[in-house]
Chains A and B, each alone.
Chain A
Amino acid sequence: MRGFFPVWKRELFSLFVTPLAWVVIVSFLVLQGLHFGFILLSHFANQGDMSSDQGPVQAFFGQTVFLYFPLVVFCPALTMRAFSEERQRGTIEALLTAPVSTAAVVVAKWAAAMVAYAAMWAPTLLYMVVIRKTGAIDWQVVGTGYLGIALVGASWLAIGTLASAMTQSVLLALVLGAGVTLSLFMIGVGEMILPEGALRDVCGYVSVWTQMDEMSRGIVDSRRVLFDLSLTALPLFVTTRVVDSWRWG
């Protein structure tokens, strides 16, 4: 992993010195702020009939498309430039002729996007503080909620990184990354519409919605964790192969 640290630092620098990361973070927070506002309004309007596992924390992490649809766009937006821009500008040549390993470069770019992703979510901790003011909050459940968010982010950013290595166009990388993650999400929706059977089970295993629904209620299924980790490792591995293949193009 020679060269990981300098590349990671430069990627972070590049994300935050250009407006991209800020635009993503601000748009995301505006959407989540609205989302959270609606949750609070509906929660306190119907306070009487809410059971304990359907509090605002569960609603925020688990039971809404407001979570996934922004991420379908914002995750690939954080990674779209990773390789496509370097190739378009030609800077990839200077990068890959330095004594660095391909894996280090790939992981560094993904890890930088992870930091930006964490920065994007960090202010939502304040929502938990707000909920805390109105009553009890189970911090362990909040923890599993964020764990789910981190796992979804890791895998979707890995897919975005791969998309960025597939094309020299930044826009195409965004569309490609969003397309793949949206497809994954849609397969998960199959669990709700398909008749009972093997196909529905498969959709259930893949479903990010079900996963977040579980994790927002404090349930951590190791199968889901393993699935997300595989979905992170596999695209990153394929990305290193793609980057290595440019040598032969």
Chain B
Amino acid sequence: MIEVAHLTKAYGQFYAVNDVSFSVARGEVVGFLGPNGAGKSTTLKILAGFLGMTSGQVTVGGHDVVEARDAARLQLGYMPEATPLYVEMRVREYLAYRAELKRVPARERRAKVAQAMEEARVSDVAELLIGKLSKGYRQRVGLADALVARPPILILDEPTAGLDPNQIREVRDLVRALGERHTILLSTHILSEVEATCRRAIVISKGRLVAEGPLDELRKRRRSTRARVVARGTEEAARRALEGLDAQERLTVEVSGAELTLSLRWKKTEEDTARALEEAVARLVGAGLGVREATPEKATLDEVFAALTEDAREPEGDAA
């Protein structure tokens, strides 16, 4: 449904997007992942037809976004970053206006607006001014806007940015539900967001595509690299117990009263760090130390991106 070939967007010497190619098949829910400033929004703006590209080709639903601009636009519902809306309009008025703009026939407009409000769960604020709405509601009005003309493709730019945890959960549930009937490309800089809603991810960094593939691939990169264990006992006993543990690269111990805080760092080559933690705990218990707490520390997003960017030159597994 979405085909991006060698997309480049340059501002003078600066490449916001540099030779990015990917595709999204019908019915897929794909996460578009990258740190802030990676070129996510720029790419999505080009897909939506708001920005022009320096070179490359983009087709949406089989229509070239430059050659067949309107046909491509009719295929997609686009929710811009931070969902800008007209604050002086009421929700229903705004959606009716957007439906008309997107060429929904007059006789279907009322029903489609009602349906979009139902799906985006904004029916209860239909008659309120958009300026009076909370951020969470505005975000969902933006979603309703993207949905109102029933396009087969949805492009959502940071749909959960700036929301509280409850609102984030609601929007995620919504996106998952919409994924049943739409092809969705959503951007985010939060890895867990992609894990919660998408089956596949496209990762870009500094304007370049660094990884594309199913989520398992990303999850593997996200294995813990460190663990923190709090135990009762002596430092000496702990060090002796953990001596010779294969997966361990470094151990630091902090003593506070009778409690020890052990910080373990796993070797980079270690594949199964959960097992390594299991073994470390078993050894400590075996040596008579009272283990009170064992926390694997996941790689931060930056580290995952760093890892991905480092391996960017290696051939990536195809997204099957």
Q: Which residue numbers of A lie inside 8 Å of B, CB to CB?
A: 2-3, 5-7, 9-10, 13-14, 17-18, 89-91, 93-100, 247-248
Contact = CB atoms under 8 A, between A and B. Distances in A.
The dominant DSSP class at the A interface is helix
Nearest to A89: B84
A99 B70 contact: yes
Contacts of B102: 98-99
Interface of B: 45, 48-52, 69-70, 73-74, 78, 80, 82, 84-89, 93, 97-98, 100-103, 145
Contacts of A10: 86, 89, 97
A18 B88 contact: yes
Contacts of A99: 69-70, 73-74, 101-103
A14 B94 CA distance: 11
Contacts of A93: 45, 48, 50, 80, 84
A91 B82 CA distance: 10
A97 B84 contact: no
Contacts, number: 66
B98 A98 contact: yes
A13 B78 CA distance: 24
Nearest to A105: B101
Q: Which of B74, B85, B101 lies at the interface centre, i.e. has the most chain A CB atoms within 10 A of its CB?
A: B101
Q: Which of A2, A18, A95, A97 lies at the interface centre, i.e. has the most chain B CB atoms within 10 A of its CB?
A: A97
B89 A248 contact: no
Contacts of A95: 101
Nearest to A90: B84
Contact of A14 (B45, B49, B82, B88): B88
Q: What 3 A-B pairs have minimum CB-CB distances, sorted nearest first? A: A90-B84, A6-B100, A99-B70
Contacts of A2: 70, 103
A89 B131 CA distance: 12
A32 B69 CA distance: 47
Given A98-B102, A247-B50, A14 B86 contact: yes
A6 B73 CA distance: 17
Contacts of B82: 90
Nearest to B45: A93
Contacts of B74: 99
B88 A7 contact: no
